[in-house]
Amino acid sequence: MKPIETILVCVDYSEPSKAALCEAARLANARSARLVCLHVIDREVIKIFENSPDFDRQNMMDMTYQGLTGFIREVIGDAHDLHAEVCVGNPYQEVIRVVHSENPSLLVLGENGYTSGRANRVGVLATKCVRRAPVEVMLVKRGQQLPFKSIVACVDFSENSVRAAHEACKIAKMDGAHVHLVHVYRSNLFGVGQFGSFQLPEFPEQEIISQHQMKLTELTVSLAKVFPEVEISSILHSYMSVSHGIKEELEKMNADLAVLGTNGASGITGMLLGTTAERLLHDSPCSVLTVKPEGFKEKL
């Protein structure tokens, strides 16, 4: 994650967005960053009122802005370098517009604001932003207001998962947290099969374990050299489902933040990585930070 100069947080007045606002303000204060608070009025909602003879668009915008600034003061107080913005349009498109205009290094969202039909499912806007937005995205669980203490970096030894591990250590250094490097793999003991017309090869189990452990140890040592202040441990485990395995490890370690790399690319590799990441977004028991690869561009 590049040095943060601006943090963008989306506010829809829900409990998850209140938690997101608190966490965004905490991070902005810790990094002396500018905080941009965005509220989007869906254009479909405006259409409902436009046919009324008493409808005054500017008055509605003014009242909404006053309501937004009042909500911000109520939740986080006044001691922040922040900018509040209200706009009308498609929520995702407006977020992307502000991402391009403000160039934030981090976008913070509640886990299921804007909106989700189920209380513990990630919302539509959050899912789109994780898939497509050209910025790192943090999804905050309701109730998360204190500094992170147990951070899990999900690694598969790809270049972007190594970047994610570095981001986990940066946050841990700021918060005084413990970082757990977790690599979960699907063991040959769960069977060898086919993916489409491709026969998946079988490798000796012990050889796989040794290779994974060597890579995990090398990554742990290299991170420890860069972040000597951070306590780093590593965990290697096999599960039938990678996403379920990561979820179980998060629960075991009582993690309050999971950090993972994602790319949203097409093709077999990208699809598999995307499936694991998306399942984890919905199933994670804690807040999630998703890290995009260098040069990632918006997916339309």
DSSP 16-34: HHHHHHHHHHHHHHHTT-E
Q: Contact, 156 vs 269, CB < 8 A?
A: no
CA dist., res. 69 & res. 83, Å (int): 9
pLDDT of residue 194: 52
What is the band of 264 on the pLDDT scale with cuts at 50, 70, 90?
very low
Of these ranges, 70-84, 155-169, 275-289, the one predicted with the greatest mean pLDDT is: 155-169
pLDDT of residue 212: 87
What is the band of 200 on the pLDDT scale with cuts at 50, 70, 90?
low
pLDDT of residue 206: 77
pLDDT for residue 207 is more than 70: yes
C-alpha 116 chain-centroid distance: 16
Bridge partners of residue 139, in order along the sequence? 109, 288
What's the whole-number mean pLDDT along residues 51-63? Answer: 86
Per-chain mean pLDDT for the chain: 83
pLDDT of residue 122: 62
CA dist., res. 264 & res. 134, Å (int): 11
CA dist., res. 139 & res. 127, Å (int): 10
pLDDT of residue 273: 42
pLDDT for residue 267 is more than 70: no
CA dist., res. 119 & res. 96, Å (int): 25
3 state DSSP class of 284: coil
What is the band of 25 on the pLDDT scale with cuts at 50, 70, 90?
very high
pLDDT of residue 297: 74
Query: Which of the residue ranges 27-31, 39-43, 199-203, 227-231 would you say has the lowest mean pLDDT?
Result: 199-203
Percent of the chain with pLDDT over 70: 81
pLDDT of residue 123: 75
Of these ranges, 42-46, 107-111, 122-126, the one predicted with the greatest mean pLDDT is: 107-111
Q: What is the value of pTM for the model shown?
A: 0.84
Higher pLDDT, 283 or 216: 216
pLDDT of residue 292: 87
Query: Which of the residue ranges 19-23, 45-49, 138-142, 235-239 would you say has the lowest mean pLDDT?
Result: 45-49
What's the whole-number mean pLDDT along residues 86-113? Answer: 91
Percent of the chain with pLDDT over 90: 49
Query: Which of the residue ranges 88-97, 126-135, 191-200 would you say has the lowest mean pLDDT?
Result: 191-200
What's the whole-number mean pLDDT along residues 18-35? Answer: 92
Higher pLDDT, 234 or 282: 234
